[in-house]
Chains A and B, each alone.
Chain A
Amino acid sequence: MNPRVLLGLFIAAIAVLPQIPGLPPFWLTLMDNIGLASLVAMGLVLLTGVGGLTSFGQAAFVGFGAYTTAVLTTTYGLNPWLTLPISLLTTGLAALVLGALTVRLSGHFLPLGTIAWGISLYYLFGKVEILGRHDGISGIPPLSIFGKSLIDPGAVYYVIWAFVFLAGIASVNLLDSRTGRALKALRSGKILASAFGIQPAGMKLMVFVYAALLAGLSGWLYAHTQRAVNPTPFGITPGIEYLFMAVLGGAGQVWGAILGAGLVTILKDVLQRVVPLVTGGSAQFETIVFGLLLVGLLQVAREGLWPHLASLFPARQPDDVDQSVSLEPLVRDGGSGTGPLLQVAAARKQFGGLVAVNDVSFDVGRAEIMALIGPNGAGKSTTFNLITSVLDLTGGAIRFAGQPITDADQQTIARLGIARTFQHVKLVQDVSVLENVALGAHLRGSAGPVASILRTDRAEEARLLAEAARQITRVGLAEHMHKPAGSLALGQQRIVEIARALCLAPRLLLLDEPAAGLRHFEKEALAALLTQLRAEGMSVLLVEHDMGFVMSLTDRIVVLDFGTKIAEGPPAEIKTNPAVLAAYLGGTE
């Protein structure tokens, strides 16, 4: 069944639910709470599940939204609908400030940071006079539509769930776009994203603010549903619960957020209301049960429940990509002219006392295939990283198309037209080959998150995907286009990386061991492709251990040994060079 039909059925079910005669009003309250929690969990799905930023502090953003409207509607008597944009603005600004700090934290420091500001803000809410200190603010007016006050849980229900579906559709749209691809690339590390011109910090901040806005929206709705606020629901334990919902539903699954929020909210209600009736005790078991469930979930189903649920339904056939629409070439600022395309002059890299690259100089000409060879540890990959600015030079200079790029950042280098593949494959494993390759065309599009959410990016998106499909076809992987990249053989994954690099329409292609793991005929196909690219005017610099491949394909070879260039010349010359033979086979002296 088509997911759109399923979504339609779900929306219809939600719409009909309050009309069921005899439904206890209490159920509607529960559904309201599920909707409110779903909004926050949905933000976390994008932030944590897709972007890889684990936040325990989302409840604080719910607090920003709730307190903003609480103060404005009670103290200043504003209309609740008028405070919606103000609540979102406050939350957004708070998220910008906290996010600017948070997204710069690395690894496990990031979630610890969210715990730190989560606790600080909770205490702050309880100390500020205008927010009513620990007692909070009561007497918040309910929402009203056309003069009809939505005081009944069954009435505000429709407002909450309308927002839930809007947020869900917006989130799905956002993920299925140029921005979404960049977001998914974040999990594979900063280097990958930067190599295709994405600013990882900016992208993380964007998704951080997006998640906070959904939390702020939930807070605004909460304030007018509950009609009173106090600091308790905005502390660190609720923050943990929101994360639990997202993990339970399935990280990265937008609609899984509703599943997770629903299960946790219902379970919490059962534990708070039903269990004490049975046991006669007043002890709170919910934290114990939640804690145990969270630990157990990580042990048995780390991917969450949604993928298991989704596998019960047949997957939708992916749409065929229309490859006829063309994508404009990347507009590049300056730097053409004649002379060598890439000039490496006395490049040096030291890690402490170790000289990994020792004053290496070489040029790559236009429309030339050149190889960088040498034994393991010779400094080949380090040289690649110096050219693409993943590492900073200790000394020397690098020029590309006449302009100095020694101090340029990775994004600028991608924009100038240097694309690369990686020695250790960097693909987003659970995302389709098509989407992985389309990431390479990131700089050739311009649609931002808002355009993605509103779907005004569709024409550009079709051009980007068409280009990706063309490059996949070109490298001979058309039949695998819609498979997850991780399901391909390692050699094929290397070829996917080449297709991705080609999507940038590069002038210089850097390939790190492209033939590793390929079978004989696949190597022949790769050699033919590279020869054709050269004929089209592209330059290729490759690191490769397969000497047969290198000797038959390249125009020139540079040999490195222990970081030092020991030879340079055409293949025939390198084959007989005594220094090269000594380096590879061991010297006789």
Chain B
Amino acid sequence: MDLTILLFLLQDGLTNGAVYALLGLALVLVFAVTRVIFIPQGEFVAYGGLTYALLSTGKVPGTAWMMLCFGLAAFLFEVAARGRTLTPRDLAREVAMKIVWPLAILAITRLIVSYPPSALVNVVLSVAIVGSLGPYLYRIAYQPIEDASVLVLLIASVGVHLAMLGLGLVFFGPEGLRAEALISSSFNLGPLLITGQSIAVYVATIALIVALALFFETSIHGKALRATAINRVGARLVGIRTVMAGRIAFALAAAIGAISGLLIVPATTLYYDTGFLIGLKGFVAAIIGGLVSYPLTAIAALGVGIVEAFASFYASNYKEIIVFTLLLPILTWRSLTHTDHDEEE
């Protein structure tokens, strides 16, 4: 192997790894706050990328309608769960968040697509559409069983994954989609061709990590999330609504998923079922980080990207096999260092 190939593979690995890092961070976030192992994270990637791709071709993506359906369902769940205890003020807020908001986004989307596409508007719209799905999903699928064991939540996650996979097929069809690069320029650095898109990936990843760090360190909501992650009961005792924390965590995770999708859809053709594998690679990183450590997860994600790049060069047929088999020794190592909370003594 010569230096050029080495550098090329490294660059390729880092670009993919940056995306895995984003997903890994979202997974750690969701797990820490809600104890949900968020298998459907990858579906948000596909949804985000495909929504953007459809918007760029001037079509109203099915996810906009889906968001409205999810919002209505979440509204019904909320009303059914709270019944007569729902005050008019709360009801108005629920209507605003779960019915008016998706309707507004849908209306804007329908309006926008009749004009010549603007990349920036489409980016914002895609993140708004797909990001909104997160909290609705939390309300429908997870909130009713929020006190169940990690295992039950995991099985629920698998159910959500199946449902979202099927919905993806219904809304996007079996064909893959690709979008124009956000930044089409590129330049040479030594033997390497650096594309504007890969720069966008790095910048977006770093910006999001910094934003998340600021959110957790300085904002009151961020602190509430951290408190919930450390001790749910304790957080509740000091007046933090863990349901609110869960909703925010899911909104962030869905938005991060959507952004990841935006970042890769110009480079790879996305299918409705591509997200699952991408999400699982974020998982590999999150698990190396023990589902608790953000920095370790980010570093591990870059490692996963690099391993994958080299695996696809040397044994392209066995790329997925290598990446997922690597997870087994990591899980074993994590199990050895993990203190079993199920046993109290």
B317 contacts A by Cβ under 8 Å = yes
The complex places the Cα of A54 from the Cα of B37 at a distance, in Å, of 14
Whether B332 lies near A104 (C-beta < 8 A) is yes
Verify B145–A108 contact, CB threshold 8 A.
Answer: no
Interface presence of A109 (CB below 8 A): yes
Contact A288 B341 (CB under 8 A): no
For the complex formed, measure the closest distance between the CB of B308 and the CB atoms of chain A, giving whole angstroms: 13
Shortest Cβ distance from A512 into B: residue: B345
Q: Is B94 an interface residue (CB 8 A)?
A: no
CB of B338 within 8 A of CB of A107, answer yes
Chain B residues with Cβ below 8 Å from A189 are 340, 342-343
Given known pairs A101-B328, A105-B331, A127-B321, the reply for A54 and B163 (CB within 8 Å) is no
B155 near A292 with CB under 8 A, answer no
- Whether B331 pairs with A116 at a CB distance below 8 angstroms is yes
Complex-state Cα separation, A237 to B169, whole angstroms? 15
By beta carbon, the residue of chain B nearest A118 is B324
With beta carbons under 8 angstroms apart, the residue of A106, A284, A294 that contacts B158 is: A294
User: For window 287-321 of chain B, which residues contact chain A by CB distance below 8 Å?
Assistant: 287, 317-318, 320-321
* Interface membership of A82, Cβ < 8 A: no
- What chain B residues lie within 8 Å of A119 (beta carbons)? 277, 280, 320, 324
With A117-B324, A127-B318, A283-B170 known to touch, is A109 a contact of B334 (CB < 8 Å)? yes
B324 pairs with A120, CB closer than 8 A? yes
Q: Give the residue among A105, A112, A247, A381 with the most B Cβ atoms within 10 A.
A: A112
Interface string of A521-564 (1 = CB under 8 A from B): 00000000000000000000000000000000000000000000
Contact A298 B155 (CB under 8 A): yes
Q: Are the C-beta atoms of A291 and B163 separated by less than 8 Å?
A: yes
What residues on A are CB-neighbors of B144 within 8 Å? 299
B286 to chain A, nearest CB (A): 10
Q: Which residues of A contact B328 (CB under 8 A)?
A: 101, 113, 116-117
Question: What is the CB-to-nearest-CB distance from A50 to chain B, in angstroms, rounded to a whole number?
Answer: 14
User: Of A109, A120, A190, A288, which is within 8 A of B287 by CB?
Assistant: A109
Closest to A239 in B: B158
Residues of A within 8 A of B287 (CB): 109, 112
Contact: A381 with B159, CB < 8 Å? no
Residue of A104, A111, A189 with highest tally of chain B CB at under 10 A: A111
For residue B325, CB closer than 8 A to chain A, the reply is yes
Question: Whole-angstrom distance between the alpha carbons of A496 and B101 in the complex?
Answer: 58
Q: Who on chain B is nearest to A247 by CB?
A: B155
Q: A119-B280, A123-B320, A385-B345 are in contact. Are A112 and B331 (CB under 8 A)?
A: yes
Number of interface residues of B (CB under 8 A): 48
- Tell which of B150, B163, B170, B324 touches A108, judged by Cβ atoms closer than 8 Å: B150
**Which of A109, A115, A237, A286 gathers most chain B CB within 10 Å?**
A109
Q: Does B91 contact A (CB under 8 A)?
A: no
How near does chain B come to A476, taking the closest CB pair, in angstroms? Answer: 27
Check if B119 is an interface residue, CB within 8 A of chain A: no
In this assembly, does B100 line the interface, its C-beta being within 8 Å of a C-beta of chain A? Answer: no
Complex: chain B residue closest to A116, CB-CB = B327
Chain A residues positioned under 8 Å from B152 (CB to CB): 298, 302
Interface set, chain A 81-117, CB cutoff 8 A to B: 101, 104-113, 115-117
Which of B37, B167, B321 has the most chain A CB atoms closer than 10 A to its own CB?
B321
Q: How far is the CA of A115 from the CA of B157 in the complex (A)?
A: 13
Q: A124 and B343: CB pair below 8 A?
A: no
Interface presence of A287 (CB below 8 A)? yes
Provided the pairs A106-B338, A295-B141 are in contact, do residues A54 and B159 lie with their beta carbons within 8 angstroms?
no
Of B154, B160, B336, which one neighbours A295 at CB under 8 angstroms? B160
Of the candidates A106, A112, A244, which one forms a contact with B340 in the assembled complex, judged by CB atoms under 8 Å apart?
A106
Chain A 424-451 against B: per-residue CB contact (8 Å), 1 yes, 0 no?
A: 1000000000000000000000000000
CB-CB nearest in chain B for A295: B159
Q: Mark A108-152, 1 if CB is under 8 A from B, else 0.
A: 111111011101100110010000000000000000000000000
Q: Is B70 an interface residue (CB 8 A)?
A: no
A98 and B160 CA atoms in complex are apart in Å by: 27
Chain B residue with the shortest CB-CB distance to A191: B343
Bound state CA distance, A532 and B240, in angstroms?
Answer: 55
Cβ of B162 under 8 Å from chain A: yes
Most buried by B among A54, A123, A295, A423: A295
Q: Is the CB of B163 within 8 A of A295?
A: yes
Q: Are B317 and A127 in contact (CB under 8 A)?
A: yes
| Complexed CA–CA distance, A104 and B340 (Å) | 12
Nearest Cβ distance between residue B332 and chain A, in whole angstroms? Answer: 6
Name the residue of chain B whose CB is nearest to the CB of A187.
Answer: B342
Closest residue of chain A to B152 (Cβ to Cβ) is A298
User: Which of chain A's residues have a CB closer than 8 A to the CB of B176?
Assistant: none
Q: Given A111, A190, A244, A290, which contacts B151 in the complex, CB threshold below 8 Å?
A: A111
Give complex CA distance A123, B324 in Å: 10
User: Is A390 an interface residue when CB atoms closer than 8 A count as contact?
Assistant: yes
B158 contacts across to A, CB distance below 8 A: 56, 240, 243, 294
- Contact of B163 (CB < 8 Å), options: A111, A112, A123, A292: A292
Complex Cα spacing A108 to B287, Å: 11
A27 within 8 A of B: no
Residues A123 and B321 in contact in the complex (CB < 8 Å), given A112-B37, A113-B327, A288-B170 = yes
- Asked if A106 meets B280 with Cβ closer than 8 Å, knowing A116-B327, A191-B345, A302-B152, the reply is no
B338-A291 in contact (CB<8A)? no
CB pair B320 A291 closer than 8 Å: no
Q: Determine whether the beta carbon of B324 is less than 8 Å from that of A424.
A: no
Determine the chain B residues whose CB is within 8 A of the CB of A115 once the complex forms: 280
Segment 90-137 of B: residues with Cβ below 8 Å from A: none
- CB pair A107 B340 closer than 8 Å: yes
Q: Is A422 located at the chain interface by the 8 A CB criterion?
A: yes
Q: In the complex, which residues of chain A have a beta carbon less than 8 angstroms from the beta carbon of B151?
A: 54, 107-108, 111
A10 close to B (CB within 8 Å): no
> Which residues of A sit under 8 angstroms from B178, Cβ to Cβ?
none
Interface string of A226-256 (1 = CB under 8 A from B): 0000000000010010011001000000000
Contact status of A287 and B345, CB under 8 A, knowing A54-B151, A108-B154, A120-B320:
no
Given A288-B170, A291-B160, A295-B141; A109-B317 close (CB under 8 Å): no
Whether A291 lies near B331 (C-beta < 8 A) is: no
* Residues of chain A with a CB closer than 8 A to B320's CB: 119-120, 123
- The chain A residue with its CB closest to the CB of B323 is A120
For the complex, give the distance between the alpha carbons of A295 and B283 in Å: 21
Q: Mark B149-188, 1 if CB is under 8 A from A, else 0.
A: 0111011101111111111011000000000000000000
Q: Please give, as numbers and ranges, the residues of chain A lying within 8 Å of B342 by CB-CB distance.
A: 107, 189
B269 at the interface (CB under 8 A from A): no
CB atoms of A286 and B345 under 8 A apart: no
Please give, as numbers and ranges, the residues of chain B lying within 8 Å of A390 by CB-CB distance: 345
Instruction: Give residues of chain A (383-427) contacting chain B, Cβ–Cβ below 8 Å.
Output: 385, 390, 422-424
Name the residue among B170, B324, B331 with the largest chain A CB count within 10 angstroms. B331
Known: A247-B155, A291-B163. 8 other contacts (CB 8 A): A54-B151, A54-B155, A108-B154, A109-B338, A119-B324, A191-B343, A290-B159, A298-B145
5 nearest A-B residue pairs (beta carbon):
A291-B163, A294-B159, A291-B162, A287-B166, A288-B166
Task: Provide a sorted-by-A list of 20 A–B residue pairs whose CB atoms are within 8 angstroms.
Answer: A54-B155, A105-B335, A106-B335, A107-B338, A108-B37, A109-B287, A109-B334, A109-B335, A116-B328, A119-B320, A120-B321, A127-B318, A191-B345, A237-B162, A284-B169, A288-B167, A289-B166, A290-B159, A294-B158, A295-B156
